[in-house]
Structure 1
Amino acid sequence: MAGILDGVDLRTQLAGHNRLELLLFRLGGKQRYGINVFKVQEVIHCPPLTRVPQAHPVVKGIANMRGKTITIMDLSMAIGGPPLEDYENKFTVITEYNRRVQGFLVDSVDRIINMNWQDILPPPRGAAEGTYMTAVTQMDGELVEIIDVEKVLKEVIGGQEDVSEGVIEERTDEQPHHVLVVDDSSVARNQVTRVLKRMGVDFTACKDGQEAWEQLQSWLDDERNVEDFLSLVISDVEMPRMDGYSLTKKIREHPALEKLHVILHTSLSGVFNKTMVAKVGANDFLPKWEPDTLAMIVQEQLRQHDQARADAA
């Protein structure tokens, strides 16, 4: 237990300081890749695998680890590269996304680095539309690609796409609502905005915390009452330039924005979330991807925002 608490303390020190730790690895070539250490449980040599009939080609099998059955995927194949050969001698990165544990086969593991999100940049403008990069950075003069794991998991594992029947209530209020959606993953942005469209709620979508902060500043420059206009901010945590923790902290420190309702919509599940959310002042966090839960939370916040407007009138 002490080790877990130490880990929570170590990582919450990064929250609100726009910093992250990246695990660097390679997939058989010279290119370096990275994923957030928050999502990594451990790195091991590939365990014995049991093949699964009719599984997705990316799935190399399942492994039993500490009483859990874990799906093991070839990450090179998952992002459109060649399959890893002799994978029994490769490494497996055990990760947790959206309260689900899975392993990714990689060729070799480099090291862990501590970086500032300001040094993590969006993919180059010329990058293909179907790219699996969510961001890039420089390390030792080399380009490091940060993989959009959410896109990989959606393609390989899938999941619920739409809100279930009966979850969205018919709105009786006449007042308009607007939601600010912030996420660097196009897959995640589309998932959130699809729900909002079904609910008939207007939104503005931004690709990272810096863009969102600039949008908020623009609304303030236009002398708009942002706390009245904006019913909710739904923000990812991991984003280039400015992460969701830092965005939330800046919102709380601004006198014209401090009352905004902020939900961190994150695949960073596990023990760290509630501690970090409390530290930076977010109202809550929502694990990805749960469209029914998202719809219910948005509906409740719209009701509360209407009540706040009525009280202020």
Structure 2
Amino acid sequence: MNIESLERFKKEINQVREYFKHIQYVDDILRSDVSSTENEMIKISLNNLKDHHKNFRIDKSRFEYKASIISLYGLLEKYIEIWIKEYLDSLADLITNYNDIDEKIRINHFELSLKLINNITSRESLKYKHIKKEEVIKKLNECIVNPSNYKFSTEAFVILSGNLKHKQIVKIFELVNINLNDKIKNNKTLVEHFKNNEEISNISNIDSDNLYNKINDLVERRNQIAHGSELDDILSISELELSIQFLENYCQAIFEILSEEYIKKESIYKYQKIEEIIQIFNNKILAFKIENYTVKVGDILIVETTEGNFYKKTILTIQLNNEPYTELKVTDKKDIAVSVEPKIKENQIFYIVKK
């Protein structure tokens, strides 16, 4: 997973926030007293702005509301698609043989690729006109006849990425064999959001429709605007800011879940389990036995928690017999200790890169 895409998402979210600031600054000017302004040109311009606002005020609020809702929903749909496709491309780079991919993903890849071909050839579908059906067929064929040289038709997995209420996002995640509802309720970013912003300390037993109602509401409002429905319930800037805050944390949770799932796959295909743990000191020093291995500062540990979460830690120091090393080659079995940033715990599982 590409952390830069998460940073781009946050940058675009902040652009909407800056748009709200701009609206506020304009409103502040409209409320100001221009009679004391000495510059005649500025006075005329401000008076013209005030006069225009008297006639345009209601339409202005509606336009700002529409622009905000369309922009926010567009970010949700755009980055769900980007991150699902990034995840699949990352899997293809990590798992070298198609037959080792989860069976559910392989089945869905075949069936969805056929739907994608149908969408490409449909005159009514413009979204996939940049994709050639021959390329989709070629990728499917490679998966069958040359599974060590495969690539996913990642666009096939996001065919359903319209009207992205939470339930629909869950369905997309099911296509890549991830149970989003189970994962997201344990996500630290979202748990802290509900605790700090909505005073909900335990979200595990709350119905998903109620928990993610801001996402569902955003989709409904976007649909109203797209279909030209009457807008009777326009959110204020302060209400929209609450929606932005939730959308940002929700999407970050989505990214983190996909990243963590990829790390889990790395622990299987790229890393090896440390079988003989000796002890953990001060929640940051891992002592273990190892042989026929070269370890160096900067190497990565994967940590698996008792809850089944996966994350990475960088090795900061290495010691053998209380002597520090920046790189250590071990042939016979030795007891070594490495330090990482806290916290690691006794009941966790640790993986090091296969060498």
Q: Which has the higher helix share?
A: 2
**Structure with more strand by fraction:** 1
Structure with bigger gyration radius:
2
The structure whose RCO (Cα within 8 Å, separation 6+) is larger is 1
